[in-house]
Every structure is written in C-alpha cells, then in structure tokens.
Amino acid sequence: MPFRSFRLSIRFILPLAIALGMFAYAIVPLVDNLTLRWFVKDLDTRSQLLASALHEPLLDYIPEQDRKKIEQLFNRSVQDERLYAVAFCDPAGTLLYKTVTYPPTLGCRMLQNRNGRPQSLVQLPQGSLHVAQNTLESDTTRLGTLILVHDMSFIERRSADTRKYVISLFALLAVVISLITVFVAHLSWRGWISAVKGILRGDILPKGQSTAPPEVRPLVGDLKTLLHEMNIERRVQSDSPQLWTPDKLRSLLHEQLAGDEVLVVSNREPYIHVRTPQGADVRRPASGLVTAVEPVMRACSGTWIAHGSGSADRDTVDRNDRVPVPPARPSYTLRRVWLSREEEQGYYYGFANEGLWPLCHIAHVRPVFRSTDWEQYVAVNQRFADAVIAEARTDDPVVLVQDYHFALLPRMVSEVLPRATIITFWHIPWPNPESFGICPWREEILEGLLGSTILGFHTPFHCKNFIETVDRYLETRIEHEASTISYGGKLTQVEYYPISIAWPDDDDVDANTINVCRTEMRNALGVPPNHLLAIGVDRLDYTKGIIERFQAVERLLELHPELIGRFTMVQIAAPSRSSLDEYQNFEARVRALVQRINKRFSSAGYEPILFKAEHHDTDQVIRYYRAADVCTVTSLHDGMNLVAKEFIAARKDERGVLILSQFTGAARELHEALIVNPYHVEQSAEALYRALTMPDGEQRERMRGMRTRVKDNNVYRWAGHMLLDASRLRQRERIMTKIHSHSRNKSLRRVV
Ligand code: F6P
C-alpha cells in the first residue's frame, strides 16, 4: 500500500509540478513588470515630495546665485541612500548646480521617450536611474528645472527577491495541490474498491451506505450479473440431482479449476508396505482420513505426499521416493517423505499427538507441550512444504493439506507458491478459544492455517470455534457473514464440509450375500446362527469411548440377564500410537476391563466381549459390518467418524442398527441412528437393548433414510464442494485483480 501510494504520488506530482512550473515561468515577467510600475510610481511621488521640500530654500538661493548654499542643500539631500544625484538647470538648459554624483551624460536635456513623452527611467552604465524633472518658478518667473535622480538598483534587487518568492510559492502550491489530489484520489479509490469488494462478497452495498458510490454504479449491474451466473453455475453443479461421482469430480477439477495438478499432503500414507517373511505386503491403515481422501485421489490423479512409515516402504519406491498406487491399478503417485526417529518422535508422537490431539478433543487427557517437540513440528512441516513445492509442476497447483499434523504448512507453501489454491481440512474437532489458548504456540498455529485458501472443518460449530479463536488471538479482518478471514493480505474461507466415504459399487451384493456373511461370521466365532452381535471398529484411542462402551455392555447384561450367552460385543481395535504412555495405559485399562466383564459373565466357552486388538483389512471389516445386528460408535469426541458411515454403506439389506455418540460430527447427519451420550452408561445400555430388539420394519426404515443420505453426501461431494468453493475464490481473486488495476488506471485518468 505505501509503495502504491508513493507511485501514485509521483505520477500526480510530476505532471502537476511541471504544469505549475511552466505557469510560474510565464507569470514571473508579468509580476516583474507590475512591481516595477509600482516602484516607479512610488519614486515619482517621492520625487514630488522632495522637490516640494527643496522648493522654498531654492527660491531664496537661486536668485542670489548662492552656489555654496545650493550645493550644501543638494549634498544634504543625497545623503538619503536612494536619492542618487540632484542638479539644477536654468531655463536656457545650462547646468548650473549639481552634486558630484550627477551623471554628466544626463546634462539638462528634457528626457523623452521615443514617443516624445517625458521619460523617467534611463539606463546608464552605472545602472538604472529614475529621473524626475520639476520646474522651479517664483511668482511669475520660471527660474529653471530641478532634476532629482534616484538609484533604481534597489528596485532590481527587490524584483529579484519577488521573483524568487513567486517561484517558491508556486512550487509549494504544486506540492500541496498534488498531495491533496493524491489524497482525494486515494480515498475515492479505496471507497471504490471496498464498494466493489462488498458487491463481490454479496453485500451489494458497502455497510453504512444507502447507495453505491456514483463511480461504482455503472459496474453494479455487471458485477451482479457475473456473480449471479457464477452462483447459478455453482448451484447447478452442487445441487444436481445427479450423484457425485468420480467422473463428476474429475470434470469439475479440470473445467472449473483448470487444475491438472492435485497435490495431497498428509502424515498417514494411503498404502503402507510392510516386510513379512513372504516379502513386502501392502496394508491400508486404519484412518478415516485415508478412507476419505484415497477415492478422491483415484478420481483426480496427482501426487500424494506422506510419511513413509512402513518397514518395506523404502524398498518399493523409485529413486525419487515415488511409488505408483493403488498397487493393483495405479492411478496416482505416492511420494514418500522419510523422517528420522527424532523427527517422528517430536513432530508426530510429541506435538501432534500428545499436544494438539488431546487439546482439540474434549476427552479429559491433558495435552503435553514441549519446546523440543515444537521445534521438530516446525522442521517437519517445512520438510513437507519443501516436498510440495518440489513436486509442483506449475505455480498454481491445488494442494489439499490434511489434518493437525500440518498446521504450519499452508503458510509455508503459500509464501513460495502464492498462486496455489491451498485447501486445508482439519479432520478433528476445533476447541473453544479458552481451551485452544493453552497452546504455547497458538498464534503460530493460527497464522500457519491462515495461509490456506480454504480451511475446512466437519461442522459449523468447529468453524465458529476457529473463527472465535482467531478473533481472540490474532489481529485479522473477519467477515462473519461471508465466513472469511483476511490476514497478512491473504483471504481464507472458513467453511464446513462434512466428510464422507465413497459409496460402494457393490452390484453383486444382495440380501442373500449378507445373510451368508452373517452365518459364516457366527460359525467362525463359534456361536449359534441366531446369536446377537454388536460390532465396534476403532483405533485403540482414548477418544473413542471404548471403555464407556464396554461399561454399557456390562450394564446391559446386568439389566437384561436373558442376553447372557445370547449376545457378543466384537471390538476391532486397530493398534495406534502405541509407543505413547497414554495409549499404553489406555490399552491396559481396556484389557483389564474386558477381562473383568468377561470373567463376570462367561460360561462354557462364552465371553460377552471379543476384543481383537490387531490390524484388519477392509474386506474383513466389511464382513463384520454385514454380520452385525448393531454397530456402536461411542466416541467421547470425534470430528466426524466414518465407521458409522461405512456400516451404513455395507448394509445393502437395510438391516442393522447404528448406535451413535452425540459427540460425533456424524450425529448431525445421521438422525435415524440411536443417539447416545456415551458418558451416560445406563442410556447406552438401554440403546443397546433397544437396538438388539428393534423390529425389522423399524430397522429398515431407519437404515433406508441413512443410506440415502450417505449415498448422496458421499466423499466426492465433500471434495467437490471444497473444489467448487476454491474455484469461486480463484475466480473472485482474478476479478478483484482486474478491478484493482482497472480502477487504479481510471482514478488516475480522472484526476489528471
Ligand atoms: O481421525 C483423525 C485422524 O487424525 C485421522 O485424520 C487419522 O488418519 C487418524 O486419526 C489416524 O491417526 P494416525 O494416523 O495417527 O494413526
């Protein structure tokens, strides 16, 4: 801004100064002439007065021809510094008396100009002189002419001074007028720009104004039309009755964003190569993030940058650390970043999972913040940012940044690639400002995230918490209606995009297949065909409410002992972050609880809880979903929870009941689930009972509603909405830039 003002000033001041300079140059001779005339008039009057003063004594001395007295009188008179000489001529034109200073060349001739008029100014070698001739008469006799000669050099000096003042005055005027002009132009330019921005934001008129400024009015119509067209286009895209599909997402990316290039950054990689005695095996991690983003990447291609954490990861990459995936049918590139043990410890286990994770989840585990972890977090974010920059083939890629592991990366990337569209998605909840405030590096985290073009959360509540946190800790401009934050010249759209899953393409699955799956699972578990099964699928994490779930099972069996031996809770628990004390303690507590409950209710090979703390692949998990009567999601706090949606997607038979914690993002969409407060053990036990005894008709009705919703609000829609918003922002940014340069030229032209 200051630079632009400076350039504007130069562009205004120079021409104005030149114009005023030329004007001053033309006006100085006029001023000279005028002042000269004033001074000559002044000397005429002065000569008149002097002549009058000399008149009386001369009337006495001339007739007596008293030379001595006359010359004394004359010499006294010329003591006045401006009166240069005095002389007296008789009527015949003979010079009778004079001071020594009287120029001989003047003599007694009557001075006349070319037109024969008496001339008062003469130019002699000694300089300019003013000559005044006064006739001296006694009562009736003309005695002669008294000549008074004034030095004009002081007038020249004054005239030079006046010229100097006039020129300085004009120079000063030039500067003052230019500055006022620039100031006024600047104000009207800013008003103009803010009015246009207001229209683009949809305010139509800037706040507090009843009408748009007159200069903007001709544009309002055009801009409104443009915005309207953009909105219609967007609505058509997003609300199309057509299902969001990979194809639709792909074409959106290419048509709306002209984006040939999508880069994803996440900590967790979508495919992990692990060493086994049989060679390298590929695993899919238990990660909601991977479940959601992987289908998007399959649709869009591009490069996914992630931490190479598998034991055989290095063996499977090329010399650029890249590997094409999915292994069976590659459609995008996985670029692995290697971390040292210290880096992983500080950045992933330390800052991300002992600091930010408990900070953002209300699960009553105290966050731990260490400076050494923070240093690693900064360094690893920089390493991944460098990888993004290195992988980008263009200067405006679409970068999808995933989760709390990379809060600093958006700003790091945008500083090097300012034209990049950076969409950051925060997969976990965002706490209120007070809770977030305990993070010692809260400002840095917020600044880093505000390097994003779009910052996405699962729910409006998390967006609100984020905006309030920014408002509390940073100096920014927040537009609440538009949900944008402007910080350091960068505009970030904060929006909620409920994440989802790819709806399965399972034409071959029918109710019969599901029944077969149900029977096979019960056989495998060694229970009778009508045995009631509940399933829980989670990472072994203290936020998932696994303890509360088992307490609910215990209470269920207490309240409904008829279910003992007829009901089993199968808990799949994928090991997670197990090198952290908190997770080890949690696992120990879970195992102890399972043991206690199983001991309490077991009989002849029956145990009410089957705790399977090991990795399960996707197909195995789907088989459990299909075989179960109930799926339990009892997180104490969860951004979304995709297990709930995966269960629904797996139930093509429209059977099965979902028990869902009210503290998940999913509870805002899946109203037909049995919503519980997991801290209320009785309530959860009741919900379990209700689910296990729910009539088929009710199950179908509930499941049908949820299936329609999850199918429509699938992950392509999630990504599509973010990309549409990004494309809208990119378009808006382009229009702003155009208006900006257009308005500047226009206001300059108007002022000049
Ligand atoms: O659900 C939140 C989340 O961070 C996901 O985004 C992530 O993939 C998942 O937890 C698993 O965590 P981790 O990658 O640490 O095993």
DSSP run (H or E) holding 127: strand 127-137
pLDDT tens sequence across 359-376 = 999 999 999 999 999 999
Ligand 1 pocket, residue 288 CB under 6 Å: yes
How far apart, in whole angstroms, are the C-alpha atoms of residue 310 and residue 290?
15
Which residue do the tokens 């996440």 mark? Answer: 266
Q: 607 is written with which tokens?
A: 């145990």
The answer on pLDDT for 294 being more than 80 is yes
How far apart, in whole angstroms, are the C-alpha atoms of residue 650 and residue 506?
9
Q: Which residue among 401, 403, 538 has the greatest number of ligand 1 atoms within 8 angstroms of its CB, and so is best to mutate?
A: 403
What's residue 536's pLDDT?
98
Average pLDDT of the chain, as a whole number: 88
Q: 144 is written with which tokens?
A: 């002669």
How far apart, in whole angstroms, are the C-alpha atoms of residue 535 and residue 656?
11
What's residue 4's pLDDT?
53
- In this structure, are residues 378 and 408 in contact, taking their beta carbons and an 8 Å threshold? yes
> Which residue has better confidence, 250 or 565?
565
Ligand 1 centroid to Cα of residue 271, in Å, is 14
Q: CA nearest 458: which of 625, 288, 298?
A: 288
What's residue 595's pLDDT?
98
Ligand 1 pocket, residue 637 CB under 6 Å: no
pLDDT tens sequence across 559-601 = 999 999 999 999 999 999 999 999 999 999 999 999 999 999 9
Which residue do the tokens 């155009």 mark? Answer: 738
Ligand 1 centroid to Cα of residue 635, in Å, is 14
Ligand 1 pocket, residue 299 CB under 6 Å: no
The answer on pLDDT for 118 being more than 80 is no
The answer on pLDDT for 243 being more than 90 is no
Q: What is the arithmetic mean of pLDDT over 605-624?
A: 96
Ligand 1 centroid to Cα of residue 634, in Å, is 17
Ligand 1 centroid to Cα of residue 376, in Å, is 19
pLDDT tens sequence across 671-705 = 999 999 999 999 999 999 999 999 999 999 999 99
Ligand 1 pocket, residue 635 CB under 6 Å: no
Q: Which residue among 287, 293, 348, 538 has the greatest number of ligand 1 atoms within 8 angstroms of its CB, and so is best to mutate?
A: 287
Please name the residue whose Cα sits nearest to atom 16 of ligand 1: 576
- What letter does residue 339 receive in the DSSP assignment? -
Q: Could you identify the atom of ligand 1 that is nearest to the CA of residue 402?
A: 6
pLDDT tens sequence across 170-193 = 778 877 777 777 777 777 777 777
pLDDT band at 540 (very low <50, low <70, confident <90, very high): very high
Q: Could you identify the atom of ligand 1 that is nearest to the CA of residue 287?
A: 8
The answer on pLDDT for 196 being more than 90 is no
How far apart, in whole angstroms, are the C-alpha atoms of residue 269 and residue 284?
9
Ligand 1 pocket, residue 427 CB under 6 Å: yes
What's residue 106's pLDDT?
83
Give 37's contacts (C-beta < 8 A, 6+ positions apart).
Answer: none
What's residue 27's pLDDT?
79
Distances (CA, A) of 394 to 300, 335, 344, 729: 16, 17, 30, 19
Helix (H, G, I), strand (E, B) or coil at 95: strand
What's residue 1's pLDDT?
44
What's residue 210's pLDDT?
44
What's residue 327's pLDDT?
95
Ligand 1 pocket, residue 428 CB under 6 Å: yes
Ligand 1 centroid to Cα of residue 354, in Å, is 13
Distances (CA, A) of 95 to 48, 147, 355: 21, 10, 114
Q: CA nearest 705: which of 680, 669, 736?
A: 669
Ligand 1 pocket, residue 198 CB under 6 Å: no
Q: CA nearest 515: which of 617, 645, 655?
A: 655
> Which residue has better confidence, 299 or 352?
352
Ligand 1 pocket, residue 664 CB under 6 Å: no
Q: CA nearest 556: which of 694, 690, 695, 698?
A: 690
Ligand 1 pocket, residue 272 CB under 6 Å: no
Ligand 1 pocket, residue 266 CB under 6 Å: no
What's residue 665's pLDDT?
98
Please name the residue whose Cα sits nearest to atom 14 of ligand 1: 268
What's residue 749's pLDDT?
64
- In this structure, are residues 584 and 542 in contact, taking their beta carbons and an 8 Å threshold? no
Ligand 1 pocket, residue 429 CB under 6 Å: no
Which residue do the tokens 């020249």 mark? Answer: 156
Ligand 1 pocket, residue 405 CB under 6 Å: no
The answer on pLDDT for 25 being more than 80 is no
Long-range contacts of 204-207 (CB under 8 A, 24+ apart): none
Q: Which residue among 266, 267, 268, 580 has the greatest number of ligand 1 atoms within 8 angstroms of its CB, and so is best to mutate?
A: 268
pLDDT tens sequence across 29-57 = 787 788 778 888 888 888 888 888 888 88
How far apart, in whole angstroms, are the C-alpha atoms of residue 83 and residue 106?
15
Q: Could you identify the atom of ligand 1 that is nearest to the CA of residue 405?
A: 4
> Which residue has better confidence, 214 or 340?
340
- Predicted TM-score of the model (pTM): 0.71
Q: Which residue among 339, 427, 636, 715 has the greatest number of ligand 1 atoms within 8 angstroms of its CB, and so is best to mutate?
A: 427
Helix (H, G, I), strand (E, B) or coil at 391: helix
Beta strands in 244-376 (DSSP E): 262-265, 272-276, 279-283, 303-307, 322-325, 332-337
Q: Could you identify the atom of ligand 1 that is nearest to the CA of residue 285?
A: 16
Q: What is the arithmetic mean of pLDDT over 7-33?
A: 72
What's residue 48's pLDDT?
87
